[in-house]
Amino acid sequence: MYLPKHSRKRGVVLSSYGLQKLKTAKSQAEIRENASKRYTLAALSFRTELTPNTLMKVLAGDVGVDKHTLSRCFGHLIWY
């Protein structure tokens, strides 16, 4: 008997509210800890312990990433 393969959706995409909240947290961290200078992608990568490619996916807001990745982004930007 043939059983069709079902693909699961493994990633979550930030809503517009979530993306705005992440960008606000990033801006506040830049003001608070980087003398109001914008973080480079390399600095954000070091801070969140994520690869630059993964960070680009999160910040683009149109590609799904896992929940652990999102929690790292929020956690390291807010509580670093």
Across 21-62, where does the E strand assignment appear? none
Q: Work out the angle at residue 13's Cα, subtended by the Cα atoms of residues 38 and 20, and round it to the nearest 5 degrees.
A: 40
* Residue 9: predicted pLDDT: 66
Nearest residue to 48 (alpha-carbon basis) of 15, 80, 12: 80
What number of other Cβ atoms are within 10 A of residue 48's Cβ?
Answer: 21
Indicate the pLDDT class of residue 13, thresholds 50, 70 and 90: confident
Strand spans (E) along the chain = none
Regarding predicted confidence, which is higher, 73 or 7? Answer: 73
Give just the sign of the alpha carbon dihedral 50, 29, 27, 18: positive
pLDDT tens column, 42-75: 999 998 999 999 999 998 988 889 989 988 888 8
